[in-house]
A and B are shown apart, each in its own frame.
Chain A
């Protein structure tokens, strides 16, 4: 997926956080919702439009892609979590509801574990953060790119597949995709379990877990890792969806998420 230019009702804000310039897309009115995207990049999609109908959405671009040198200031998860904590200060959001997808779900869970008083509600869509030998998460860097749609989407032939792979004949797009992926792998290589299990007991926010029943990238069995540890959580398994349930089954997921959020 690519970073889209904000459309007319979405504004782009550049926020200085320490030595990092954060890029945030903002839209809507109402209680603030922080959105943290997955490895595919920041992309203003219909799901964010739906969130923005009743909330002020702050969709943050994961630092370190593009031309940024942010990763030199973010050696690990600890600094990444502090980056988000400081970003919320800069945005003057004392408390916030957080929605995170995949890698962004892991970051959201880490943020809510680090700052439990700050995160009032949490939505985790197919989050990573744990490892099970009985359901290994495929190495997304160690597979042919053309197999990605089959892992990510319940229907690999759906139009969403086109967003997953940059065109092979566009070196600039390939370069940007590689840098974007590098900025995520930086935090999860070689196995996406980086200690969330030691910290998640601090997380107090009521949590809604959304998982595609046909998720072949992060198997739905991983939901147990969260529900068994969280104080207040609910799982919605989405039939007919894979790793992008919010785009594969937009109406169902939107219903669950909007009902859950204030």
Chain B
């Protein structure tokens, strides 16, 4: 299994009374009141240092993503962060931009251009994430009408792939992108184009796109494998239905992870920061999650049928103590052995070959984050790296310029 250190880049010093005083962590948290640019200057240094450390310690990839007006992730442009990482990751980790929210960019050739730049700059290490994006980002922050979210996304995906693969200049006559001359300089280094990684919260259309176009799909939630099972079962059922193989590298999942020397120490060191995350960083009112029209009719019906709103409400209502958070799978915390065992179980349950390891959580300070990253790289990664080897699948979606550590058999961390 590939391990990607995925950084959300949260605000680490939200006020004590944040969740009672403010409406939401996303869309409306007042910037001049809550977001101190001097603090952010320090966070950005820490965040990049942490990602660079992960590269040195032998993670397979380093991951960044895009959110807007969001206190748990104000990486409005992940491409800026990825550009910095491309120059400072000598151990050749994959640069996983998961991803650019396609519907926000018209013309979407902007994404084709920036991703191509990153791919060239990193010598073919880019994994190009194409998320649909959340309703918060797309509809509320960027003003895209909810009913245009998917049509814009699909058209952008089409345009970007053409921009990367068709000899230019050519004409693209879309509904939202009308371009007489599509001819980006350069096209990407990876051929035919960088691997496309879809990311989402479980919409049926996204699975169909993954199956049809042979893209990977990563299920990104903060509620762990237990809640994710229904969704990933749905994904694999869709692959079966479409006649697509069960290669686990087609799929990924995000998991919050806390590693320490012992289970007891993990609780002592991390609980405060995990609580901060679940209380403050997930403080989002339900009406921002899904502007009417954001989901298609089909996905809305699927969500109702699988009781997604009920599950999320149930998850949100749970008491966030260490025991519950671990039992429910929201976090995987403990000694390296505990963490590895539970990750293997989660990965097998969901049948996923890519782990987006969330190792900086909420208010977690820089030093503790480095410890978490280091213990994970040195003690956990070697135990989970080969869990799919026996099935003999090839990872067809790994950037061709990135180091393929899974096949070297070298113990992780040895390169540090």
Contact = CB atoms under 8 A, between A and B. Distances in A.
B288 interface: yes
A179 B145 contact: no
Interface stretch (A51-59, A185-193, A215-223, A254-262): A185-193
A178 B287 contact: no
Contacts of B146: 141, 182, 185-186, 189
Interface stretch (A3-11, A29-37, A81-89, A142-150): A142-150
A189 B304 contact: no
Q: Which range contains the number of A residues in contact with the other chain?
A: 20 to 34
B261 interface: no
Contacts of A144: 285, 287
Contacts of B293: 178-179, 181-183, 185-186
A103 B139 CA distance: 20
Contacts of A178: 290, 292-293, 300
B288 A142 contact: yes
B143 A190 contact: yes
A67 B297 contact: yes
A171 interface: yes
Interface in A135-189: 141-145, 171-172, 174-175, 177-183, 185-186, 189
B224 to A, nearest CB: 24
A175 B145 contact: no
B147 A71 contact: yes
Contacts of A46: none
Interface in B99-125: none
Interface residues of B, number: 20
A195 B147 CA distance: 20
Contacts of B290: 178
Given A141-B291, A171-B304, A186 B285 contact: no
Contacts of A189: 139, 143-146, 291
A181 B297 CA distance: 13
Contacts of A177: 292
Given A67-B297, A75-B175, A142-B140, A182 B147 contact: yes
A172 B144 CA distance: 26
Contact of B291 (A145, A183, A185): A185
A31 to B, nearest CB: 36
B300 A185 contact: no
Given A142-B140, A179-B297, A190-B143, A185 B292 contact: yes
A186 B301 contact: no
Given A75-B175, A186-B147, A189-B139, A175 B291 contact: no
Interface in A18-44: none
A100 to B, nearest CB: 21
Contacts of A143: 287
Interface string B277-317: 00000000101101111000100110010000000000000
A160 B343 CA distance: 52
A195 to B, nearest CB: 15
A191 B288 CA distance: 16
Contacts of B139: 141, 189-190
A86 to B, nearest CB: 22
15 contacts: A75-B175, A142-B291, A144-B285, A144-B287, A145-B287, A174-B304, A175-B301, A178-B292, A179-B293, A179-B297, A182-B292, A185-B293, A186-B147, A189-B144, A189-B146
Given A142-B140, A182-B146, A183-B147, 10 more contacts: A71-B147, A142-B287, A145-B287, A175-B304, A177-B292, A179-B297, A185-B147, A186-B145, A186-B293, A190-B139
